[in-house]
């Protein structure tokens, strides 16, 4: 240590079966250790492991340090050990700041398992898990602590992951955590640049597809069958705007720029999301403060530069607000057109959710990106059953539902999600769910428009009839319209799916009657039906 020029030794509480207990014995040992350390010019910090034999609580470790009463002996705090044992973090606030020598941070998903195994394999970055790391760090900051915060993360995926991505996530997690702490603890001594608060999502302003003429025609056929109408064309670019209710779909067939490059790499894909926020410039400032890369495309003559950043998976997140010239972008840069081929509208009103598929090990990256940037909350990870394997899913959503993004982490290539990202060469939006206030009317309108819904197997309806005790006539109506049904303690949910397009993209139409979930129990039936629609050579059999 002296050769390396370091001055702090970390000592964990003992786990040996032959360890002796006794707080005064430990304090006496530490006092002697402090004496020896002082002669060498080093300090000693003591950390309570959650599974320590006698000391497994930072309050006991602090009592040892307090009784040792030596300037070279201090306390080491680790959020995992404190939070895993549900120890009150308020107890940290009473510790003198000069006795806290070092602070380690880690989060973890809430899993009921043995502490040591949980700690060694499932720790993750602050904000990626379910522990109250912010409250822990607030308590530390309230003492006036101005030392280092260290990420101590043991995680199997991180070991196997991209060091660059892990480092970016770690930096982002610390900046986000520090920003939250700074806002609530005025006495916090954090060396952190100011940044705007998390952007409040007011809604999805548009979704943009990159396509060529041929794939655009296929997407447009589907959109028209769902009642979308081409309402405008860009003044100077090969970009069309389709709309229904508050849903705007932009089809970009430019061969130049990011859309062209995206099409060349991924094929036709929904690669950009326009988000309506309070202040678009602030949103970009926060994103870049969190280490995101700004996307700057030089605007054409008389065009507004729309503030944007690259999101997880390489797609683009645009920000729109009510300020000029962003507020007038559809009027200023697009020319209205009459759509002679349009069908009657089908009652779709807004985007209910956006479903993005990523590699399984990128799921925490994506969740952290959205939660750090936008005022959304995340759900715990839940499993979506695909006949060929598990897909891990997590939702980030604003409290009012203005923005809901379901994130699917695909672990194997034989799942629909895994196939999609393999064939798409990377993460992207895999489905868009539109909301209707009356799904039976919408379903009837779609049939008149020539829309062929995803056909759901008949035994599904026998199953839900029994599972929910549905009225037979009602179940028949669901079956005739190929609707999926779910229910939670808040209400009912109805889902209608398009067939899959290309390598796994699809549309969904939903009606929520108070329901708050996403129809996860229906996924296995839906996915089985979708796989039958994929081209035969495209999908290996489960
Ligand atoms: Mg530790
Ligand atoms: Mg969905």
pLDDT in tens, 241-286: 999 999 999 999 999 888 998 888 888 899 999 999 999 999 999 9
529: exposed, middle or buried (C-beta count within 10 Å: 0-12, 13-18, 19+)? buried
> What was the pLDDT predicted at 541?
41
Averaged over 358-376, what is the pLDDT?
Answer: 94
Structure tokens at 296: 């700057």
Q: How far is the CA of 126 from the centre of ligand 1 (A)?
A: 14
Indicate if the pLDDT at residue 402 is higher than 80.
yes
| Ligand whose nearest atom lies closest to the CA of 417 | 2
Q: Given pLDDT bands bounded at 50, 70 and 90, which one contains residue 304? A: confident
pLDDT at 481: 97
Q: What is the DSSP string of 99-168?
A: GEEEEEE-B-----S-HHHHHHHH-B-TTTSSS-HHHHHHHHHHTT--S-EEE---BHHHHHS-HHHHHH
Predicted confidence (pLDDT) per residue in 159-174, tens digit: 888 899 999 999 999 9
396 CA distance to ligand 1 centroid (A)?
29
Residues with CB under 5 A from ligand 2 (ion): 433, 508
pLDDT of residue 266: 86
pLDDT of 540 > 50? The answer is no
pLDDT at 102: 98
**Looking at the CA of 78, which ligand is closest?**
1
In angstroms, what is the span from residue 83 Cα to ligand 1's centroid? 12
- Identify the pLDDT of residue 537: 44
The pLDDT, as a whole number, for residue 3 is 87
The candidate with the shortest Cα–Cα distance to 61, out of 2, 73, 378, is 73
Residue 387 pLDDT: 83
Helices (H), 15-100: 23-40, 58-68, 79-84
Q: What does the alpha-carbon distance between residue 109 and residue 123 come to, in Å, rounded to a whole number?
A: 7
Distance CA 134, CA 177 (A): 6
CA of 144 from ligand 1 middle (Å) equals 21
- Is a pLDDT exceeding 60 seen at residue 539? no
Closest residue by Cα to residue 351 from 295, 275, 426:
275
Over residues 502-522, mean pLDDT: 93
Ligand 2 centroid to residue 518 C-alpha, Å: 6
Contact 453, 481 (CB under 8 A): yes
CA of 8 to the centre of ligand 2 (A): 51
Average pLDDT over residues 333-349: 94
String of DSSP letters for 455-475: PPPHHHHHHHHHHHT--HHHH
pLDDT at 535: 53
Distance, CA of 425 to CA of 432 (rounded, Å) = 19
- What is the spatial distance between Cα 459 and Cα 465, in angstroms, rounded to a whole number? 10
- Of residues 538 and 106, more confidently modeled: 106
As a whole-number percent, the residues of the chain with pLDDT over 70 amount to 99
Instruction: Give the bridge partners for 137, in sequence order.
Output: none
For ligand 2, the distance from its centroid to the CA atom of residue 522, given in whole angstroms, is 10
pLDDT (mean) for 363-390: 92
| CATH 3.10.180.10 for the 350-534 domain, yes or no | yes
Please answer whether residues 316 and 291 qualify as being in contact, where contact means their C-beta atoms are separated by less than 8 angstroms.
Answer: no
| Separation of CA 137 and ligand 1 centre (Å) | 14
Instruction: Give the start-to-end residue ranges of the domains of the chain.
Output: 8-184, 201-336, 350-534
Indicate the class that CATH gives domain 8-184.
Answer: alpha beta
Domain 201-336 falls in which CATH fold? Answer: 2,3-Dihydroxybiphenyl 1,2-Dioxygenase; domain 1 (3.10.180)
Q: When comparing pLDDT for 98 and 187, which is higher?
A: 98
Q: Is the pLDDT of residue 419 over 90?
A: no
| Closest C-alpha to 347, from 258, 245, 217, 223 | 245
User: pLDDT: is 160 or 127 the higher one?
Assistant: 127
Report the mean per-residue pLDDT for the chain: 93
pLDDT for position 299: 77
DSSP letter for 489, please.
T
Residues of the chain with pLDDT > 90: what percent? 78
State the distance from the centre of ligand 2 to the C-alpha of 19, rounded, in angstroms. 54
Contact by Cβ (8 Å): 345, 231: no
Q: What is the pLDDT of residue 499?
A: 87
Pairing between β-strand 201-210 and β-strand 73-78 as defined by DSSP bridges = unpaired
User: Counting beta carbons within 10 angstroms of the beta carbon of residue 422, is it exposed (0 to 12), middle (13 to 18) or buried (19 or more)?
Assistant: middle
439 Cα to the center of ligand 2, angstroms: 15
The stretch 446-454 carries a mean pLDDT of: 94
pLDDT, tens digit (0-9, with 9 covering 90-100), for 420-446: 888 777 778 999 999 999 999 999 999
Looking at residues 374-393, what average pLDDT do you find? 90
Ligand nearest to the CA of 104: 1
Identify the pLDDT of residue 310.
95
In 229-277, beta strands by DSSP E: 229-234, 239-244, 247-252, 269-277
Instruction: Please give the Cα distance from 474 to 461 (Å, whole number).
Output: 10
Same fold, 8-184 and 350-534: no
């Amino acid at each position: 240590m002296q050769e390396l020029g370091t001055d702090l030794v970390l000592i964990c509480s003992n786990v040996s079966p032959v360890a002796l207990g006794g707080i005064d014995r430990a304090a006496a040992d530490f006092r002697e250790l402090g004496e020896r350390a002082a002669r060498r010019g080093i300090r000693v910090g003591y950390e309570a492991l959650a599974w320590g034999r006698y000391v497994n609580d930072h309050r006991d470790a602090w009592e040892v340090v307090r009784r040792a009463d030596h300037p070279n002996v201090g306390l080491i705090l680790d959020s995992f050990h404190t939070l895993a044992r549900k120890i009150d973090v308020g107890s940290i606030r009473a510790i003198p700041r000069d006795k806290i020598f070092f602070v380690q941070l880690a989060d973890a998903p809430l899993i009921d398992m043995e502490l040591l195994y949980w700690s060694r394999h499932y720790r993750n970055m602050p904000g990626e898990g379910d522990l109250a790391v912010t409250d822990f760090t607030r308590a530390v900051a309230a003492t006036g602590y101005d030392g280092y915060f260290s990420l101590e993360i043991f995680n199997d995926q991180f070991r196997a992951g991209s060091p660059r991505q892990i480092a970016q996530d770690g930096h982002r997690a610390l900046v986000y955590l520090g920003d939250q702490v700074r806002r609530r603890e005025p006495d916090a001594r954090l060396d952190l640049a100011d940044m705007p608060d998390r952007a409040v999502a007011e809604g999805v302003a548009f979704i943009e597809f990159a396509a060529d003429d041929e794939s655009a025609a296929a997407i447009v056929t589907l959109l028209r069958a769902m009642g979308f109408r081409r309402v405008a064309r860009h003044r100077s670019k090969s970009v069309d705007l389709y709309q229904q209710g508050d849903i705007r779909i932009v089809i970009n067939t430019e061969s130049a720029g990011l859309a062209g490059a995206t099409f060349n790499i991924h094929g036709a894909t929904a690669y950009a999301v326009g988000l309506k926020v309070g202040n678009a410039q602030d949103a970009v400032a926060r994103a870049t403060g969190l280490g995101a890369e700004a996307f700057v495309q030089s605007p054409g003559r008389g065009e507004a530069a729309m503030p944007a950043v690259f999101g997880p998976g390489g797609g683009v997140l645009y920000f729109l607000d009510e300020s000029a010239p962003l507020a007038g972008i559809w009027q200023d840069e697009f020319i209205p057109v009459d759509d002679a081929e349009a069908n009657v509208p089908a009652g779709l009103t807004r985007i209910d959710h956006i479903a993005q598929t990523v590699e399984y090990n990128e799921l925490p990256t994506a969740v952290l990106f959205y939660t750090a940037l936008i005022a959304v909350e995340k759900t715990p990870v839940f499993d979506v059953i695909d006949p060929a394997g598990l897909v891990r899913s997590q939702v980030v959503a604003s409290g009012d539902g203005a923005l809901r993004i379901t994130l699917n982490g695909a672990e194997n290539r034989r799942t629909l999600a895994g196939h999609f990202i393999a064939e798409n060469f990377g993460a992207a939006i895999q489905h868009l769910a539109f909301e209707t206030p009356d799904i039976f009317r919408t379903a009837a309108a779609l049939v008149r428009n020539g829309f062929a819904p995803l056909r759901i197997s008949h035994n599904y309806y026998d199953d839900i009839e029994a599972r929910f005790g549905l009225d037979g006539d009602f179940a028949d109506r669901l079956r005739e319209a190929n609707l999926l049904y779910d229910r939670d303690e808040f209400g009912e949910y109805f889902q209608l799916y398009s067939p899959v397009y290309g390598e796994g993209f699809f549309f969904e139409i939903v009606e929520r009657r108070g329901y708050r979930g996403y129809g996860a129990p229906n996924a296995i039936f839906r996915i089985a039906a979708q796989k039958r629609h994929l081209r035969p050579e495209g999908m290996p059999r489960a």
